[in-house]
Structure 1
Amino acid sequence: MSLWAMSLSGAVMIIAIVILRALLINQLPKKTFLILWGIVMVRLVIPFTAPSAFSIYSLIPEKEQSMNTQFSGIQDNLSENLPVNAMADTVHVDITTQISIKWLVWLAGLCLCAGYFLIVYRKLYREFQMSFTVKIPQIEQWLVLHNGKRRIEIRQSDRVAAPVSYGIIHPIILFPKNTDWENMNVLQYVLEHEYVHIKRYDSITKLLVTAIVCIHWFNPMVWVMYILFNRDLELACDECVIHRFGNNSKSTYAHTLISMEEQKSGFMPFCNNFSKNAIEERITAIMKTKKTTIVMLVASAIVIIGVTGTFATSANASDKIDNKNSEYIESTIAEDVMLAYNDEDGNIYYSADGGETFFNEKEFNEKYPSPEVEWWTYEEYKEWLDNERIQLQSMLGEKAWTGGRGEFVWTQEMIDETIASYEEILQKIENGVKVSKTVDGSGEIQIATYDDKEHFMESVEGVAIASDKETKVFGPYDTKEELLDAIKPYCEEQVRLGNMTQQEADEIIEKYE
């Protein structure tokens, strides 16, 4: 699964949680939504999902895509980097890794976003270093009761207007310089609130969500998640404080929150700020806080399981197929799923739309024909190369432009490298490797090579595997792992059908492991 697919899937889940949050924020324990946001974060960084019959994506019909379309996808991806001379570009793509414009834009956004957060962090760190330790008997008494494996330090500074906590290994609770240290009735709530943040390692959680925002900076729903996640951190801490001090503390705690809001601090992305989130929402949540019951816990579990099963999983393609008491063979081709089953008489039926429609072998081959490939002969390629040498040399000093390189000028070094690459291809042809001239009559680009000995065909963005009866095309894929996940089941199927030996299948799979 690509970054863009993960981001889209995460956005759908964020929208669902935002709706549930608006409806149930004061009915369920606040930790419920922190768990849901955690699942979204996992969805945004892990490039695969578990299939589920309850996935919302099962409702989306899968598109039909023929083998010709698969080859077209490979051609489209290669043609993005096509140079003035088509053959020259193919070799250039084989030699160097081309970074598309969209990835450059994404990388630039990532660097800007990360740079901004780092600048803010550095500025806050410098300001916080100018604080000094508070040594007051009632505060030291509080520290004795609350210090554990990580020693907490309480400091004060004239650079903050409201209490904040920060630090992971050596946590610090930072108070404004004008704090009334005699009013422990108020301070106990603030201290307990920040202590909950420290105990739950919320500083680490904030770093993680900030990193995810930097990765998915282009997705507006991820920014929505960032804002609401930080609010829910505060709401969960408020709820914990109320449970510790009892319902009678609601009014006093709410007034404390209001007084802190009047002295609200600025943007502190890596700190836990006692008063920086939406004040109305927090006060409403405080006054509506109830004792956690078994019913609330069960409802919370149902919501978490329901949202995860519906929005954090992928469609289960096998659920779309009627149960025929048959052996199903499943293999992934590009972004679609091809399925096949054997009936009681041993006849094989295929589907390329996730099980909506099945065809017998003849019908399937007619609907999804294998691409016809025309190969270079040694003499033809040598003749072409002789002419190409002359043409390339005549381009010395001329300007050119490609999607991969941008604007450039042909140098002698570039010409020599290109000709050397062509000579390597000529040598491969002489050694028995087949190099395609056209695919289904299209001679725009050189797309694949085929080695009789290794029994496989490969291209820059995709792979085609030739068996005794057919040639199957896979790709393009974003990662090598996705390609391997598609190839493995297909090879296993061909071995079962007798179109390929186990040794040949193992060699193909080993090639891409």
Structure 2
Amino acid sequence: MDAVFLKLLNMSITASWLILAVLILRLLLKKAPKWVLCVLWAMIAIRLIYPFSIESTLSLVPSAETISVETTWFSPIPDINSGIPVINNTVNPIIRGAFKPESGASVNPLQIYLYVAGIIWASGVLAMMCYAMLSYVRLKKRVSEATQLRDNIWLCDEVKSPFILGIVRPRVYLSSSIDEAQMKHVISHETAHLRRKDHWWKPLGFALLTVYWFNPLVWVAYILLCRDIELACDEKVIRAYSKDGKRAYSEALLSCSESRKMIVACPLAFGEIGVKERVKSVLNYKKPAFWIIFIAVAACIAFAVFFLTNPTPHSKEDNGLKYYLTIAADNVASIQVSTPYKSGGGQHADGSLYEKGEKVYLESLDGLTDLSGVTVTALDKKGNVIYALSVPEGAGGAMNNAFAFASHGWLLASTDPEEATSNINNAMVITSAEFDIDNDGTKESCMLSYGPTSGVFSFVFSVTHDGVEKYRNTFITHHGNLEFLEKDGSTVLRHTYQEFANSAEETHDYDISVNEGHIILSENGDRIPYLG
């Protein structure tokens, strides 16, 4: 239940951005047809119903997953990712202080609160459903003595304000004492509701309110939806009315607005609300100009493009996230990152596994220049550790400006090309490049790191593909500068060094090849000796 609630909570937070946007658009589109506002509310309903969305670089939604499953289940210190740095920097310190784990605790404290919140949420949903059914039964009993006027129009002594009741076979209920002159306008209004299928949209809106009752913005959206539906229906009816016709229609609204508490209280009935605002709108109604309609439709299209889509994953890199992990196993479900300062991690929003070779950007390392004390752990769906990488705390020297760390075929790297040092199996990496070393038609990741020898200079040449190591050799040579470069259409290894302190600098370009599973470095037939 807590997993369901967490999913709905993230969907609710995402929809909240849309609701805020619609509240702003309602002010800007005052002169637009009211049906435009109904279209905007429908888009919010789509966001609240469908758990998936198209990814787009144009999306203005800050984050599709503010609170991740990994954060609540695995991270010892929970963080949120709203997609807005100012909010993250303000809220996360408060969360860390409020949910600080106790000594000896085995689970994230937020996980416990989330479980309790899930129970409270389910109880609220049940209460809302009971309220809806109870109010429907009471109203149905109240109109049980109604008599049919014609078709689906019914008269009832217990009814003071007209309303529609029913979804599949809706009925229009009118007061038995309604004036004949007013009846014409009232029936026109109610039948307009039926043609627009408004008797479907209010129950749907209440169903979403039942699920997301914990979000105050959803309550605001539901109330405004009901008002905008009435305004849109009024516009549909009075479109061809004269000034006198509008006045008569307004008088009918005022006459029918009394004693409507029972109707408003029933979410499955469709009655008259917001009469004062509606009368003012009717009397001031003017047919909107073409350019206003055009702008309103364009605003709806833009709203759909910007808010019905999720931000693309690579936008994290564009936002300045430097560090990423290359997945090396097939069953990785989540990544946990811990530093001496904070913790975090990530997981696919739909709970799917990471693909082998996929890059996962690590937000918890954003802004760090010293990776000492960092631990990155890959976990399966059950939370078991698949593999982990730890950078020794206080490593010092170039280690503090690490570009990439690799262990057992998986890679933690930086998108910053200036940070050009790495570590493989606890050895500093000198440089790296991607090229087809064995002519098999695919590019491999090639890395050079300092070797394990003491007193004699050596370096390790390792080759991986999709996180799996293919070749690895340790070479012994003179201490100097090593770099990959393109020469005559192929990649070579340039080695620049001084054999003695006072001797001239020498430069050698070694051709790179693979023979019987070993990496060969040669220049004019001369090879660099290797171990193993």
Partner of 2:299: 303
> One-letter code of the match for 2:410?
E
Deviates more, 1:186-195 or 1:244-253: 244-253
Find out whether 1:32 has 2:40 as its counterpart: no
Sort the Cα spacing of 1:337 and 1:50 in 2 relative to 1 into closer, same or farther, 3 A: farther
Sort the Cα spacing of 1:241 and 1:460 in 2 relative to 1 into closer, same or farther, 3 A: same
Sort the Cα spacing of 1:109 and 1:44 in 2 relative to 1 into closer, same or farther, 3 A: same
5 Å matches for 1:399-478?
A: 458=380, 460-461=382-383, 464=386, 468-470=408-410
Q: Offset of 1:39 from its aligned partner?
A: 0.9
Partner of 1:165: 164
Find out whether 1:117 has 2:132 as its counterpart: yes
Structure 2 unaligned spans of 5+? 1-5, 80-98, 328-333, 337-343, 348-357, 389-406, 413-443, 446-462, 470-532
Find out whether 1:10 has 2:10 as its counterpart: no
Q: Offset of 1:112 from its aligned partner?
A: 0.8
> One-letter code of the match for 2:268?
F
Secondary structure of 2:172's counterpart equals strand
Sort the Cα spacing of 1:103 and 1:351 in 2 relative to 1 into closer, same or farther, 3 A: closer
Sort the Cα spacing of 1:298 and 1:86 in 2 relative to 1 into closer, same or farther, 3 A: closer
Partner of 1:479: none
5 Å matches for 1:215-364?
A: 215-245=211-241, 249-266=245-262, 267=264, 268-273=266-271, 275=272, 277-319=273-315, 321=317, 351-353=361-363
Sort the Cα spacing of 1:162 and 1:353 in 2 relative to 1 into closer, same or farther, 3 A: same
Q: Offset of 1:310 from its aligned partner?
A: 3.4
> One-letter code of the match for 2:130?
G
CA separation in 2, counterparts of 1:248 and 1:330? 72
Q: Offset of 1:52 from its aligned partner?
A: 3.0
Partner of 1:482: none
Sort the Cα spacing of 1:337 and 1:176 in 2 relative to 1 into closer, same or farther, 3 A: same
> One-letter code of the match for 1:170?
R
Q: Offset of 1:73 from its aligned partner?
A: 1.5
Secondary structure of 1:218's counterpart equals coil
Query: Alpha-carbon deviations, 1:473-509, whole Å to 9, x = none?
Result: xxxxxxxxxxxxxxxxxxxx999924349xxxxxxxx
Query: Alpha-carbon deviations, 1:219-251, whole Å to 9, x = none?
Result: 111111111111111111100001144565222
CA separation in 1, counterparts of 2:361 and 2:259? 65
CA separation in 2, counterparts of 1:101 and 1:70? 13
CA separation in 1, counterparts of 2:367 and 2:11? 29
Q: Offset of 1:127 from its aligned partner?
A: 1.6
Q: Offset of 1:4 from its aligned partner?
A: 1.0
Q: For 2:75, which of 73, 80, 91 is the aligned residue? A: 73
CA contact (8 A) 1:320 1:355 kept: no
Partner of 1:186: 182
Aligned Cα root-mean-square deviation (Å): 4.7
CA contact (8 A) 1:318 1:355 kept: no
CA contact (8 A) 2:326 2:360 kept: no
The structure where strand makes up a greater share of residues is: 2
Query: Alpha-carbon deviations, 1:424-464, whole Å to 9, x = none?
Result: xxxxxxxxxxxxxxxxxxxxxxxxxxxxxxxx963535774
Decide which structure has the larger Cα Rg and report it: 2
CA separation in 1, counterparts of 2:213 and 2:73? 33
Secondary structure of 2:75's counterpart equals helix
CA contact (8 A) 2:326 2:359 kept: no
Partner of 1:129: 144
Q: Offset of 1:201 from its aligned partner?
A: 2.0
CA separation in 2, counterparts of 1:118 and 1:37? 25
CA separation in 1, counterparts of 2:201 and 2:182? 27
Q: Offset of 1:269 from its aligned partner?
A: 1.7
Partner of 2:59: 55
CA separation in 2, counterparts of 1:458 and 1:243? 61
TM-score by length of 1: 0.56
Q: Offset of 1:105 from its aligned partner?
A: 0.8
Sort the Cα spacing of 1:356 and 1:50 in 2 relative to 1 into closer, same or farther, 3 A: farther
CA contact (8 A) 1:158 1:177 kept: yes
Partner of 1:153: 152
Partner of 2:198: 202
> One-letter code of the match for 2:155?
Q
> One-letter code of the match for 1:165?
I
CA contact (8 A) 2:326 2:411 kept: no
Q: Offset of 1:257 from its aligned partner?
A: 1.0
Partner of 1:405: none
> One-letter code of the match for 2:59?
S
TM-score by length of 2: 0.54
Query: Alpha-carbon deviations, 1:102-122, whole Å to 9, x = none?
Result: 111111111111111111011
Sort the Cα spacing of 1:71 and 1:203 in 2 relative to 1 into closer, same or farther, 3 A: closer
CA separation in 2, counterparts of 1:302 and 1:228? 22
The structure where helix makes up a greater share of residues is: 1
CA contact (8 A) 1:9 1:312 kept: no
Sort the Cα spacing of 1:356 and 1:29 in 2 relative to 1 into closer, same or farther, 3 A: farther
> One-letter code of the match for 2:147?
F
Secondary structure of 1:2's counterpart equals helix
Sort the Cα spacing of 1:303 and 1:98 in 2 relative to 1 into closer, same or farther, 3 A: closer
Sort the Cα spacing of 1:202 and 1:336 in 2 relative to 1 into closer, same or farther, 3 A: farther
Secondary structure of 2:154's counterpart equals strand
CA separation in 1, counterparts of 2:28 and 2:162? 31
CA separation in 2, counterparts of 1:496 and 1:189? 77
Q: Offset of 1:195 from its aligned partner?
A: 0.4
> One-letter code of the match for 1:16?
A
CA contact (8 A) 1:370 1:470 kept: no
Q: Offset of 1:321 from its aligned partner?
A: 4.9
CA contact (8 A) 2:155 2:173 kept: yes
CA separation in 2, counterparts of 1:2 and 1:463? 24
CA contact (8 A) 1:161 1:265 kept: no
CA separation in 2, counterparts of 1:464 and 1:188? 73
> One-letter code of the match for 1:256?
A
Secondary structure of 1:232's counterpart equals helix
Q: Offset of 1:44 from its aligned partner?
A: 1.5
Sort the Cα spacing of 1:154 and 1:465 in 2 relative to 1 into closer, same or farther, 3 A: farther
Partner of 2:518: none
Q: Offset of 1:350 from its aligned partner?
A: 8.1
Sort the Cα spacing of 1:349 and 1:307 in 2 relative to 1 into closer, same or farther, 3 A: closer
CA contact (8 A) 1:127 1:159 kept: yes
CA separation in 2, counterparts of 1:52 and 1:131? 54
> One-letter code of the match for 1:272?
F
